[in-house]
Amino acid sequence: MEIKKFKDTEELSRAVAKYITALIKNKPEATLVLTSGDTPKRAYQLISEMGKSIDFSKCMIIGLDEWVGVGPKSEGSCRYIVEESLLKPLNISEENYTFFDSLSSDLATECKRVDKLILDRGGLDFIIVGIGLNGHIGLNEPGYAFGNYCHVTDLAQMTIDVGQKYFEAATPLSKGITVGLKHLLEAKTAMLMASGEKKAAIISQTVSSQVSPEIPSTVFQLHKDGLIWLDDAAGSMI
C-alpha cells in the first residue's frame, strides 16, 4: 500500500489523469474499472483534454457500480457521470465500455456477465475507487465479504442519504450492484482517490484500523499494489 498526498484537488486530479493516460499508452488493451461520483470528475475532464491522441480502441472500461432501479440516463447513474465527463468527450466507442444494467430483471445474471468479461480479459489491469464516509468501496457496504466478485448489496442508510446529492429530485434508493472486492484484490493495480476534509477520518481508519469487512476500505492494506492518493485535506489525519 502506497500513500501519496497532493496539495489540493487540482494537483491530485492531474496526477490521476496522467496515471490513467500513461496506462493506456503503455497497454492499449488494458481493462479498467472506473468509479463515478464527485471526486474523479475533474480527473476525467483532464483525461478528455489530454487524451485526444490516445487510442482507446483496444481497451475495455467497466463501470464500478450502479444504483439498482436507476436508469442509465439518470444524472445520478454511474454510466451517465462517466459518459458525460469522459467517454463522450473522447468519442470512445460503446464497444469499449460497459456498465451494469441496473434495470435488469435478473441482476444475478448481470453480475455473472460482468464477472465473465473481467475474467475473460485476464482480470483487471486497473481499478479506481472513491470512499464513502462509512468506508464503502463502490457499493460494497460494511459487512460484505472481501471474497465477493460482482454482487448486489443492501445500501446503508448513510449511503442512501449521501447518494441523494447526485439527483435533481428525491430518488428512492435501497440496493446497489457493484464490482466486488475480490476483483479489486486481484487487479494488478488498485487506486483509492479521496479529497476533502470530510474524508480525513475514514482515510485514517482505512490505513490504521485492523483489516475487516466492517471497514471495507481496509482491503487496501491487503493489496500488493494498492495506491491511496489524497489531497492534503483528505490526508490531514495520517
The answer to whether 101 is a known catalytic residue is: no
The yes-or-no answer on residue 65 being catalytic is yes
Phi, psi of 26 (to 5 degrees): -80, -30
214 is known as an active-site residue: no
The residue annotated as part of the active site, out of 110, 134, 140, 148, is: 134
55 is an active site residue: no
> Which listed residue (66, 110, 136, 148) is catalytic?
136
Cα torsion angle, 193, 196, 202, 204, sign: positive
Instruction: Choose the catalytic residue: 65, 66, 83, 125.
Output: 65
Q: Which of 110, 141, 148, 151 is catalytic?
A: 141
Q: How far is CA 20 from CA 25, 48, 74, in A?
A: 9, 11, 26
Residue 91, phi-psi category: left (phi > 0), alpha (psi -120 to 50), beta (remainder): left
Report how far residue 46's alpha carbon sits from residue 15's, in angstroms, rounded to the nearest whole number: 10
Which amino acid, residue 167? F
User: Which positions are annotated as active-site residues?
Assistant: 65, 134, 136, 141
